[in-house]
Amino acid sequence: MYRRLLINIYQVRNGLIHTQNTRLPSTKCKERESFAPVIWAPCTARPLGTSSISFSENKESSTSLSEDKEKRPEENEAKEEVNADGQKSTEISNATLTSQLETEPVDKPEDSKQVEKTKSGKESLLELLGAMKVEVTTVRKIRPSKTPRMSERPDQEPMESTHSMFQHATAEGSQQQGTLNPALVAAVSAAASTLPNRHQAESELLKQLRKHEAVPDTQRRADGQNIGHIIADMKVGGRKTNGRSSARPTSQIRFDDDGKGYTQDRGITGELDAVRRRKSPFTSKRLNIFTAGMEQDTLSVLGPTLWDIDLANQIVQATNQAPRNGFEEMIQWTKEGKLWQYPINNEAGLEEEASVPFHEHVFLEKHLDESFPRQGPVRHFMELVITGLAKNHHLTVQQKKEHIDWFRDYFRQKDDVLKEAEA
């Protein structure tokens, strides 16, 4: 049976398909360490107990569950009685938690919700968790509106510590003291019916329950510090608003694949994201018509056709293009070309010279080639001219050339005079 349970656990883990909501009383568990295997089934159907909600569409798990049923008839009995009681078993079709701890068959499992009574530290809890076997649970139908919304809540207060959340949850729970949840009573009677003297057991159970409900807030808060350490590493479920979950304890213990027995660093959002991602229809299977790396046959592309222009036009008309402030209006004008563009670098307004490299501006000797004398005062003069031009940033290259050409013409005209003076 141990093997069997182990297999089940692995199924749960590998599937990563459930969120286990349990309330684990380490003290109580400790006390019961010498007892026979406890049946947790009654609790699971009860909103306050070690209820576990899990999402599973895993067919395998449910079949394995039925196998389990054969092996453990007495557990089944208990479970089915609970179901027959017309509790919320429509949603939680079946959930069992068995512990390897030796406990007596039915030992007021509702005590288990009393986390506040724990005195042992994190280590003992871990031990217990490690020793515990979690059985596969199935849920036939998940309420669609609930799970994604749950994922929203933590977004708003993601930094809320688990400790404070716990306190919040207990505060919620304490609102219910005095009056016991009818579902709870039903569960108690279900549990009691498995015992020989049914009525006595039932009344004892209920008495015990009321005692818990009456635990004063102050004590809870005092214990909260201690619990805070323990549940710091637990998964804590989001607060739900419906009646069933408002009464449910919030510590959710969850196993993970990392071998430590529980997840450590991932926050509630991460977990719920995982739930959501898993459930998201956007990740459903594809049609498998196209292959991903498909190469497109290149057709002759002739630039935008009339249809493309019209599409762009339609998009522009469908959307709101009205500017919201002066800057946006200026952007619009810039795009339309009405506004001189705002300088974004030191080359603004460089339209006609944009394609001219700087050396065209600076190295102008090449324009002084054969049309000027190789040496002499004219050459000297012209060298000074091009030096001046090279440093002039107001003129374009074309204008500089024109400048040089003017001198060329001028000296050609004065050729006679020059020759006379020089020669």
Partner 1 sequence: MASSCSQALRHHVCKSSRILRVHLQKAWPNRSFVLNPAADQQPAVSSPEEEIVIPKKKTWSKEAVLQALASTVNRDPTASDYRFQDDPYLTPKTSSEFKLFSLSQESGRNAAKYFISTYPKYFQKDYAQPHIPCLMPETLEAQIEEVSEAALIERIQMRKVKAAVDLYDQLQQAGTPVSLDVTNQLLDLICFYGDCDPAQENVPEQRNEETEDVQDEPQTKKGRASKASDKLKAAWKENNNAERIFALLSEPNTHSYSALIRGMVKYGAYSKAFSTYTDLLNNQLKADVSTFNALITAAPEVKEKYNEKWELIVDLLKQMAEQKVKPNLLTLNAVLKALRRCGTVGKSQAFPVISEMRALSIDPSLASYNHLLSIFYKPGAPFQGQTDILQEVMNEVSGKSFTPQDPDDAQFFITAVRICLDTKDIEQAYRVHELLGVGENWRLLGNDFQQNIYHARFFSLLCMMENIDVVLKWYRDLVPSVYYPSSNVMRDLLQALDTDNRLDLIPQIWKDLKQLGHGNRQTLVEELLTLMAREKQNQEVQETFAECALDIKKMYDTGDRGKVMMSWTAGSLSDLVSVLLAAQRRQDAWEILKLFKTHNRVPSEELLDKFLTCIKESGDVNQALELVQISAGFCLPGTPKLIQRVQQEFLLSEQQKSMLSDLEIQTFNSD
Give the separation between CA 286 and CA 276, rounded to whole angstroms.
19
Residue 393 engages partner 1 in binding (rule: CB under 8 A): no
Give the separation between CA 404 and CA 416, rounded to whole angstroms.
20
Give the separation between CA 276 and CA 254, rounded to whole angstroms.
17
- CA proximity to 54, closest of 13, 5, 108, 99: 13
Choice from 159, 259, 282, 370 touching partner 1 (CB under 8 A): 282
Residue 326 engages partner 1 in binding (rule: CB under 8 A): yes
Choice from 70, 259, 265, 336 touching partner 1 (CB under 8 A): 336
Residue 10 engages partner 1 in binding (rule: CB under 8 A): no
Phi, psi of 204 (to 5 degrees): -65, -45
Residue 307 engages partner 1 in binding (rule: CB under 8 A): yes
Provide the minimum distance between the beta carbon of 291 and partner 1 in the complex, in angstroms, as a whole number: 7
Choice from 7, 171, 222, 311 touching partner 1 (CB under 8 A): 311
Residue 347 engages partner 1 in binding (rule: CB under 8 A): no
Residue 322 engages partner 1 in binding (rule: CB under 8 A): yes
Choice from 70, 159, 265, 344 touching partner 1 (CB under 8 A): 344
Provide the minimum distance between the beta carbon of 330 and partner 1 in the complex, in angstroms, as a whole number: 5
Binding mask 143-162 for partner 1 (x = CB under 8 A): -xx--xx-xx----------
Give the separation between CA 267 and CA 109, rounded to whole angstroms.
29
Provide the minimum distance between the beta carbon of 284 and partner 1 in the complex, in angstroms, as a whole number: 4
Please say whether the beta carbons of 385 and 407 come within 8 A. yes
Residue 296 engages partner 1 in binding (rule: CB under 8 A): yes
Choice from 102, 329, 365, 405 touching partner 1 (CB under 8 A): 329
Residue 408 identity (one-letter amino acid): R
Provide the minimum distance between the beta carbon of 129 and partner 1 in the complex, in angstroms, as a whole number: 32
Give the separation between CA 275 and CA 257, rounded to whole angstroms.
16
Give the DSSP letter of residue 251.
E
Binding region for partner 1 (CB under 8 A) out of 80-88, 171-179, 336-344, 404-412:
336-344
- CA proximity to 43, closest of 136, 119, 106: 106
Q: Is 39 helix (H, G, I), strand (E, B) or coil?
A: strand
Q: What are the angstrom distances between the C-alpha of 389 and each of 175, 363, 365, 374, 405?
A: 91, 10, 11, 20, 13
Give the separation between CA 345 and CA 338, rounded to whole angstroms.
20
- CA proximity to 53, closest of 2, 90, 108, 11: 90
Residue with Cβ nearer partner 1 (259 or 337): 337
Note the residues at the interface with partner 1 (CB under 8 A).
Answer: 144-145, 148-149, 151-152, 276, 280-292, 294-297, 299-300, 302, 305-307, 310-311, 314-331, 334-338, 340-345, 351
